Amino acid sequence: MSYAEAKAKYAAIGIDTDAAIQKLKSVPVALHCWQGDDVRGFDGDPNAALTGGIQTTGNYPGRARTPEELMADIDKVIELVPGKVKMNLHACYAIFDEENGGWVDRDKLEPKHFKKWVDFCKSRGMGCDFNPTFFSHPKCDPLTLSSPNEETRKFWVEHGKACVRISQYLADELGEPCVMNIWTGDGYKDIPADRIGPRVRYKQSFDEILSEPFDKTKVYPCAESKVFGIGVESYTVGSAEWCLKYASGRDDCISLMDNGHYHPTEVVSDKISAILAYDEKMALHVTRGVRWDSDHVVLFDDETREICKEIVRCDALDRVFIALDYFDASINRVAAWTTGFRNLQKCLLFALLEPNETFKKLQDEGNFSKLMVLQEELKSFPFGDVWEEYCRVCGKPADGAWYPAIEAYENEVQRKRV
């Protein structure tokens, strides 16, 4: 079927496919820099273990080892994905060189350590989100912001404040808001004797970090919750309740939900409307958990589609900051990035092609038979033709036309990284 026929078919149910395509083109989706190098960063021993309850598995050849390699890989992704890309950096991706005085520890990071990233984003017309890095560092004891050791806790608070300043710099330089996400792996392997102590200290630390001045219209600090991690199975300081309560208690902090961070039968698609009923903004980490927070590549699957549908149905494309968050080292990393980004775009486009007003009306009228039938029939609409048109309008390759570029890049560039 051609695009013209698909367009007519959608028009018959009240959907303007051209409008959906134009809308999607303007929605920023943050691309996580950490898929390219297995969350290692550039500020420490590249062979040190990843800590904080997260893990990459696999040893596929071609990992980016330097800022130049990582940027080249990101450029390859940008070449192959439709839509508006925003960069998402972690503090451990600071770039130290002779010009900026060389290495400093995380509590001493400055905007100048991200100047090269700003240049990178500027020349590609991208905004940039930011994340302080509270893991994979000798000062994780293993707690960070909730540590009972005041010296440790202060170190990490200083890191958080430095990251507020860097986030402000990114927002100012790039002219797009900067979402600054605070996630730590703080917690315990076994049953704790004191659950409230760490949580009270965590609150104090967040308050101290957010006491650093910033422009609330440009920098959006978030609290990302988690249910558990590897080696942190029994207790997580920044639990769902802690993060929700914290964010709801302030006008300068929002909730970030990562769909890998809940019990396996809980779904983030059901949580979005609950937050949006109260808060103007929220943020998401879109990932795929296989049995646990495994950070598999995002697919065009039921839950990702449902998450995107919820954002669209709530008319909240400008209220929900969307970011990807996964890391697979067992396959080509550029393919992993590209597949996940394209799939998120697909899910958003799929959501934009739903006759939401019709469906809502049927629900309100109690006509659940017709609602089910129409929802089911929509699944076999000619979505692929609209997706192909979207790729064409964005000047990016259609399905079937981009994977050879990955194979060539792997052979010519990534496999030579030895």
For the bound state, the minimum distance from the C-beta of residue 286 to Zn ion, rounded and expressed in Å, comes to 9
User: Is-catalytic flag, 302?
Assistant: no
Active-site position among 176, 295, 310, 328: 295
User: Is-catalytic flag, 263?
Assistant: no
Site for ligand RNT in 160-199 (CB under 6 A): 183
Q: 34 is in the binding site of which of Zn ion, ligand RNT, none (Cβ under 5 to 8 A by kind)?
A: ligand RNT
User: Is-catalytic flag, 285?
Assistant: yes
Phi then psi for residue 202, to 5 deg, are -60, -45
Which residue in 6, 104, 82, 77 sits closest to 399, CA to CA?
82
Q: Using CA atoms, how far apart are residues 306 and 375, in angstroms rounded to an integer?
A: 12
For the bound state, the minimum distance from the C-beta of residue 89 to ligand RNT, rounded and expressed in Å, comes to 10
Residue (153 or 285) nearer to Zn ion, CB = 285
Which residue in 119, 135, 51, 42 sits closest to 87, CA to CA?
119
Active-site position among 73, 158, 176, 293: 293
* Token pair of 220 as six digits: 């959006």
The DSSP H or E segment spanning 256 is strand 254-258
**Is 324 within 8 Å of 298 (Cβ atoms)?**
yes
Task: Note whether 293 binds Zn ion by CB under 5 A.
Answer: no
DSSP assignment letter at 32: E
Q: Using CA atoms, how far apart are residues 114 and 71, in angstroms rounded to an integer?
A: 13
**What string marks each residue from 246 to 265 as x (binds ligand RNT by CB under 6 A) or -?**
------------x-------
DSSP 186-212: -EESS--S-SHHHHHHHHHHHHHHHTS
Site for Zn ion in 310-329 (CB under 5 A): 325
Determine the longest span between alpha carbons in the chain, in angstroms.
68
Q: Which amino acid is it at 297?
A: V
* Token pair of 84 as six digits: 């508006």
User: Is-catalytic flag, 226?
Assistant: yes
Give the count of residues interacting with ligand RNT (CB under 6 A).
12
Residue (34 or 409) nearer to ligand RNT, CB = 34
C-alpha distances out from residue 195 to 185, 239, 280, Å: 15, 11, 31
User: Is-catalytic flag, 261?
Assistant: yes
**Is 348 within 8 Å of 316 (Cβ atoms)?**
no
User: Is-catalytic flag, 183?
Assistant: yes
Task: Note whether 38 binds ligand RNT by CB under 6 A.
Answer: no
Q: 293 is in the binding site of which of ligand RNT, Zn ion, none (Cβ under 5 to 8 A by kind)?
A: ligand RNT
Residue 350's CB: how many other CB atoms inside 10 A?
A: 22
For the bound state, the minimum distance from the C-beta of residue 217 to ligand RNT, rounded and expressed in Å, comes to 24
Residue (54 or 219) nearer to ligand RNT, CB = 54
Q: Which of 43, 293, 310, 389 binds ligand RNT (CB under 6 A)?
A: 293
User: Is it true that the peptide bond before 213 is cis, omega within 30 degrees of 0?
Assistant: no
Q: Which amino acid is it at 55?
A: Q
Q: Which of 21, 39, 109, 308 binds ligand RNT (CB under 6 A)?
A: 39
Task: Note whether 285 binds Zn ion by CB under 5 A.
Answer: yes
Active-site position among 156, 183, 337, 402: 183
C-alpha distances out from residue 133 to 11, 118, 341, Å: 47, 19, 23
For the bound state, the minimum distance from the C-beta of residue 179 to ligand RNT, rounded and expressed in Å, comes to 12
Residue (10 or 114) nearer to ligand RNT, CB = 114
Residue (246 or 402) nearer to ligand RNT, CB = 246
User: Which residue carries 């019990």 as its tokens?
Assistant: 263
Give the count of residues interacting with Zn ion (CB under 5 A).
3
Q: Which of 51, 131, 144, 167 binds ligand RNT (CB under 6 A)?
A: 131
Site for ligand RNT in 318-337 (CB under 6 A): 325
Which residue in 348, 338, 345 sits closest to 306, CA to CA?
348
DSSP 105-149: -GGG--GGGGHHHHHHHHHTT--EEEE---SSSTT-SS-STT-SS
Task: Note whether 258 binds Zn ion by CB under 5 A.
Answer: yes
Q: Using CA atoms, how far apart are residues 220 and 42, in angstroms rounded to an integer?
A: 25
Task: Note whether 136 binds ligand RNT by CB under 6 A.
Answer: no
User: Is-catalytic flag, 295?
Assistant: yes
Q: 54 is in the binding site of which of Zn ion, ligand RNT, none (Cβ under 5 to 8 A by kind)?
A: ligand RNT
Active-site position among 113, 137, 261, 396: 261
User: Is-catalytic flag, 159?
Assistant: no
Residues that bind ligand RNT (CB under 6 A): 34, 39, 54, 90, 131, 183, 224, 226, 258, 285, 293, 325
Residues that bind Zn ion (CB under 5 A): 258, 285, 325
Residues marked as catalytic = 183, 224, 226, 258, 261, 285, 293, 295, 325
